[in-house]
Amino acid sequence: MKKLFALGLCFILVCSLLACNTSSGNSEDTSGNNGTNTEDGEQTSGENGGTEGETDNSGITVGADVSEMPTLPDDTINVINDWGLKTGEGNGKYNSTVLMEKILNLQDGSTVYFPEGTYELIYPMYLQNKENIRIVGYHATFLRSGVVNTSASQPPSTDPDLPEILRPYTATSSVMYIIGCENVTVEGFSVKYDIPTSISGEVTSVSASRGIVEIEITDGSAITGDEYIAVINTFTDSGVPDKTLEQYAESKFEVTKLSDNKIRLSGVDPAGAGRLNTGTKVCLRMSTSSDYIFTVLQSSDLAFENLTLVNSLNGGFLLEERCFNAAFRNIKVQSDNPEALMSLNADILHIASLGGTLAVENCYFESPGDDCVNVHAAAYKVENINGNEVSVVSPRGNFSVWWASVGDVIEFFHPTTFESLGSATVTSINGQTFTFSEVPDGVTEDTVLSNKTLHPTVAIRNTGVNKNRARGFLLQTDNATVENCTFYGTALAAILIAPDLDYWYEMSPSRNVTIRNNKFENCGEYALGVIQLSADHDDATKTYPTYIHSNIVITGNSFLSDDIPALYALCTENIDFTGNEIDISRGNYAVLNFCDGVTLDESINDKVSQRNVTNVTLK
């Protein structure tokens, strides 16, 4: 079905393959970039910094630089021959003006082909209200230029040569918007921005009491002194985020250019600055309020394949406003600069309000500024109730007409105990007032609502996560599988399963989750567990008098760390934590608090901390 047009953001992808050897029940990191694993498990990217299109030892091509010319139908649109696009730098204005008009007016069923070359763009492409579209490249790169590093949205173009009807579409830093479409495939591209999206360097001097830090730039970024630096992050010598200092600017840090490769930052928290030493590695992240590379709204049956994302002021892919069925295959996120400490500044895949299925397969995600995958729906609350009519509000103040539709199934949760009160089907909608088939007993003002129709079934397979600042996968949905993946150097939990009702208001508790045959190495240094089941994103110790997660299977995995438990579980029932290989130098293998129906290997029972745990079975 076609969906109505609505204003939206943008969506992009990047590509890589991590093959996993599971013959012994554990995955082996073979990311296919001709790199090696060092003794401490760090994945190196090879002497060329991770060239696109390399193959791993399974023979599967990874990245955007596909090995063979794609098969195309006879009526394929060639953007050079048919639309006159030009490759090479300096053609951004011409290319963008042509593409904005041509893509907006594309016929259903079209295939659009970008031959080998670099296509500079100063505006995004908009694909709206289309069906059965394939956009394919071969050794093709989108170079996004004209982006302003600012804390605000991108200003719209005032170019007199651009038709006035197209000017509102220019106020974004995205590469592509997909809005109200069905059955769309985007494949075979690399994407990069022509401005620094972050700056990597090393501390040369610190005046902690004055909040001043001087930094030598080590990644070759060209600096002006006018950069809008939004966040400071620190890293270990091997490039793993360590959170010695993580500071978000309330406005922005004052930047003084001292030389071509040295700057002075003012406005650093004195306590944080006091923890820095000469030589500490730092990443200065530019504005994170820009747009995702690809934003997808109100669209269904989406496939993103053989894509490489090099850098971004924000994240990679944003799916929201009621999308259905999305697949990401052979996506690589990795900077092309071996000295860069970060690739993207935000989530790689931010999946909000997706129904149906989500598949993430054969991907490689390196050094994003936030989660590699974040899957959730929005939590709303009851404002008023009159029989089966319920008025709802968004606790974050951003009510969306796309939150639910007639026929959706909504689950109701007690606001203080998090107990599920039951579910009901939406029968009619009038503004923010929803009529239900039958409101469950116990629903009152402030009852929390989650749209079960927009809880996708998730399958993440054969994917590598390397050195990210936050979580590998943040899963807030039912029916999820994570298998044959590798995780190295995640600062927070490699896998976090938790809703949030304190700030983000993301849902939901998770049921029926399987995590098997994965490899976890040196993950969760700033978390309570490598895999963490909790009731809140940020406060992992927050409890409710209810088991909110259920039916969690964690088996066949390998865990290697110094002292971080392989599993931290809270408010969870029916956990199977068996058949795993655990090599933890000191401390507990698992920490369980307020859990019921737990199955453990007898051999690790004395290494499991148990508090308020009932019905334990040893195997």
Q: What is the DSSP string of 82-116?
A: TT----BTT-HHHHHHHHHHHHHTPPTT-EEEE-S
Q: What is the pLDDT of residue 13?
A: 32
- 484 with 597, same domain: the answer is yes
How much is the pLDDT for 55?
Answer: 38
Q: pLDDT tens for residues 257-283?
A: 999 999 999 999 999 999 999 999 999
386 in the same domain as 396: yes
Of the candidates 346, 376, 406, which is a domain's last residue? 376
pLDDT digits (tens, 9 = 90+) for 579-599: 999 999 999 999 999 999 999
* Helix, strand, coil % over all residues of the chain, rounded to 5: 5, 45, 50
Has residue 459 been placed in a domain? no
589: Cβ contacts below 8 Å, ≥ 6 apart: 559, 565, 566, 567, 582, 604, 607, 608
Domain-embedded: residue 38: no
Residues 268, 325: one domain? no
For residue 57, report the phi and psi dihedrals to the nearest 5 degrees: -75, 0
Establish if 27 belongs to a structural domain.
no
Q: Summarize pLDDT for 201-210 with one digit per residue, the tens.
A: 999 999 999 9
Give a yes or no: residue 544 inside a domain. yes
Model pLDDT, residue 40: 32
187 and 297 housed in the same domain? yes
Please check whether residue 565 is in contact with residue 587, taking contact to mean a CB–CB distance below 8 angstroms. yes
How do beta strands 506-507 and 549-555 pair? unpaired
Q: Which backbone phi and psi does 570 adopt, to 5 degrees?
A: -140, 140
Structure-derived torsion over alpha carbons of residues 581, 587, 590, 595, reported in degrees to the nearest 10 = 160
pLDDT over 60 (residue 19):
no
Report whether pLDDT(6) > 70: no
Same domain flag for 308 and 187: yes
Q: Which of 103-112, 244-253, 323-332, 579-588 has the lowest mean pLDDT?
A: 244-253
Banded model confidence at residue 150, pLDDT cuts 50, 70, 90 = low
> Are 472 and 436 members of one domain?
no
Q: Residue 14 falls within a domain, yes or no?
A: no
Domain boundary at 270, 286, 302, which? 286
* 303 and 174 within one domain: yes
Q: pTM here?
A: 0.89
Point out the domain boundary residue: 376, 411, 438: 376
**Domains contained in the chain, number:** 4
Inform me whether the pLDDT recorded for 23 exceeds 90: no
Listing DSSP states for 396-450 in one string gives: TS---TTS--TT-EEEEE-TTT--EEEEEEEEEEETTEEEES-PPTT--TT-EEE
Q: Give the CATH number, domain containing residue 445.
A: 2.40.10.170
Buried b (16+ CB within 10 A) or exposed e, 542-554: bbbebbbbbbbbb
Asked if the structure places residue 65 within a domain, the reply is: no
Whether 20 is in a domain gets the answer no
- Mean pLDDT over 428-450 rounds to 97
Percent of the chain residues topping a pLDDT of 90: 79
CA–CA gap between residue 169 and residue 192 (Å, rounded): 20
Q: Are residue 371 and residue 381 in the same domain, yes or no? A: no
Q: What phi, psi does 148 have (nearest 5°)? A: -100, 130
Distance, CA of 490 to CA of 283 (rounded, Å): 16
For residue 50, tell me if it sits in a domain.
no
Query: Within this chain, do residues 361 and 502 fall inside the same structural domain, yes or no?
Result: no
Position 67 confidence tier, pLDDT thresholds 50, 70, 90: low
Tens of pLDDT, residues 537-554? 999 999 999 999 999 999
Q: 395 with 361, same domain?
A: no
Do residue 163 and residue 302 come from a single domain?
yes
**Residues forming beta bridges with residue 48, ordered by sequence position:** none
Domain co-membership, 570 together with 489:
yes
Residue 552 sits in which domain range?
A: 467-531+540-618
Confidence band for 66, pLDDT divided at 50, 70 and 90: low
Residue 290 has pLDDT above 80, yes or no: no
